[in-house]
Amino acid sequence: MRILFDQGTPAPLRRSLTAHVVSTAYEQGWSTVTNGDLIRLAEQQGFELLITTDTNLRYQQNLQERTIAILVLSTTSWPRIRAAADQVVEVVADLSAGDYCELRIP
């Protein structure tokens, strides 16, 4: 699966997603692109999943009819995400096109 990390998603998380091709918004040259445009660009470029830490995304964007799956992590804290990395991997494996999932990370 092609995965895009938005600006707030800690890049080291990619080490846990070795079964997937992971890029960051920064690597794509999209670090200043707003969420709606980022989702549209990601879909156009063939990304299948956007991992974000923007917990307001679903309130800011119309996510109906999107083909990209979206996973929202509840924190940007790398130590907390690292501790939950196995859970992130499990959730990613279960996502399908157009899914929206919020993962609460303690």
Model pTM score: 0.93
Residue indicated by tokens 């040259």: 29
Is the CB of residue 88 less than 8 Å from the CB of residue 106? no
pLDDT digits (tens, 9 = 90+) for 74-86: 999 999 999 999 9
* Cα–Cα distance measured from residue 79 to residue 53, given in angstroms and rounded to the nearest whole number: 14
* Burial (CB count within 10 angstroms: exposed 0-12, middle 13-18, buried 19+), residue 63: middle
pLDDT of the residue at 65: 77
pLDDT digits (tens, 9 = 90+) for 12-69: 999 999 999 999 999 999 988 887 889 999 999 999 999 999 987 776 666 677 889 9
In whole angstroms, how far apart are CA 46 and each of 31, 55, 64, 65, 85?
Answer: 18, 23, 18, 16, 24
